[in-house]
Amino acid sequence: MPNLLCPAGHVIDLSVTPTPGERVYLPAAEWDDLVRDLARAALKTGQDEQLIAEAISDALAGRTRSFYECPVCGRLVFPDETPPLGCEPVPYPEADR
Ligand SMILES: [Zn+2]
């Protein structure tokens, strides 16, 4: 498995499974389709919890994409976007008092 380079030049090692700092996301426009796929997957498998879990996992894996938090600088790297995106970590603003 290749490495991934964050925008600051740090190497994110993708050879470890699960990759530390890996997250998944879903385009919001695909939400309804995903829910439909999950319902269908659960209905097809009957009552076996393990089979339902596997079907749901397969449906999620087919619709979600991964992004990675750089372990050095905390940037978020989205390799599946075109072009690949790298986002700086942004601190939460101070709460108004
Ligand atoms: Zn980095």
Note the pLDDT tens digit of each residue in 11-69.
Answer: 999 998 889 999 999 999 999 999 999 899 888 888 888 988 998 898 888 889 999 99
pTM: 0.74
pLDDT interval class at 1 (50, 70, 90): low
Distance CA 15, CA 86 (A): 20
Distance 65 CA to ligand 1 centre (A): 20
Beta bridge partners of 86: 77
Place of tokens 């603003």: 93
Higher pLDDT: 93 or 63? It is: 63
Give the Cα separation of 79 and 97 in Å (integer). 39
- Find the 26 Cα to ligand 1 centroid distance in Å: 23
